[in-house]
Amino acid sequence: MVPSSVRRDVLSWFGPAGQEWLDGLPKTVWSLTRQWSLRLDGPPYGGGSHSYVVPVRRRNGERAVLKVPVRDAENAAEPTALHCYRGEGAVLLHEYDPATGAMLMEQAVPGNRLKSTRFFGHKTPEAAWRRIDIACGLYRRLWRPADLPEGYPELPKATDMIDRWRRAYTEADAETRRRVGEARLKAALERCDALEDQPELGIGNRDTHLGNIVSAEREPWLVIDPKPCLAERAFDGGYLLFTHQLHGPHSGAELLAAVADGLGADARRVKDWALLRFTEHLAGTAEDRHLDLASEAMRHLEEA
């Protein structure tokens, strides 16, 4: 059975193609369990967006996770990143099926998410700093030169995102200009130019948030669900800083310094990547209430 949240998102995002994926999923899962000698070991995990993820047992009884995604531009290279990580700070990739994009991965046990308030003193400021420190340490370890394996998807490039943003903000419609503001659109185009030429490139991650870091036994914390991108170190800080600036409890210059130092990246470039993420967020936010909150959070970062 597909969790209702996954079914809803797949149909909403992919339409008829999503329905086709859902219709073929039982056969796909059956085929993969035969191919990799697996047996299902519980109900599928809920809370995802557009992947079917279920616990399994391998032939030797080892626990693992089978993940069957609806492939798109963001997630297609996940197996590439996991292969390159080799389990160093991220879950191990056991098998990859190029035909479906399916992955057989290590099961992180107990698998509690780092964002949970049960860790380090619940909602105290000290707890929040510790979570940020753990996240930065992991993403700093995982950034590495891209030694792409044969038969795996290529990594998208951060410069492709810059090109997309440049086109969108140069040709922004009236609603986008209202949501973002003329001054911020101009600043975003300047940041695109500033970030065009990047220093040393490696495997970055465009989805660096605390929900994608889980507790484990092999290492205390492991990254799951990477959205890899060929990018500089500062790129990883963009989403991480954006998320914490938007949702707190820390913000401003102190948060920027913590993320940049934790990643070993240039603070100015981390800030620029985060502000471009904020610009993208504002452009896609329809409700004025959410728009006002995001705009205020962005202002605090602009002033940092």
pLDDT digits (tens, 9 = 90+) for 200-239: 899 999 999 899 999 999 999 999 999 999 999 999 999 9
C-alpha count within 13 angstroms, C-beta hemisphere, residue 172: 24
- The whole-number pLDDT of residue 69 equals 95
Rounded Cα distance, 67 and 73, in Å = 17
Cβ contact 230:156 at 8 Å: yes
Beta bridge partners of 106: 64
pLDDT digits (tens, 9 = 90+) for 114-151: 988 677 766 777 888 999 999 999 999 999 998 888 99
pTM value?
A: 0.93
The DSSP symbol for 210 reads G
Assigned CATH for 125-302 = 3.90.1200.10
| pLDDT reading at 98 higher than 70 | yes
Tokens of 108: 């992180």
Query: Which residues have CB under 8 Å from 207's CB, separation 6+?
Result: 74, 225, 226, 227, 239
Per-residue confidence at 49, pLDDT binned at 50, 70, 90? confident
Angle (nearest 5°) at CA 205 between 204 and 208: 135
Q: Which residue reads 């909403």 in tokens?
A: 12
- Averaged pLDDT for residues 281-286: 94
Rounded Cα distance, 228 and 239, in Å = 12
Percentage of the residues of the chain whose pLDDT score is greater than 90: 83
The highest-level CATH class for domain 4-106 is alpha beta
Angle (nearest 5°) at CA 245 between 241 and 251: 105
- Going from N- to C-terminal start, the domains of the chain cover 4-106, 125-302
Q: What is the CA radius of gyration of the chain?
A: 20
- Averaged pLDDT for residues 7-13: 93
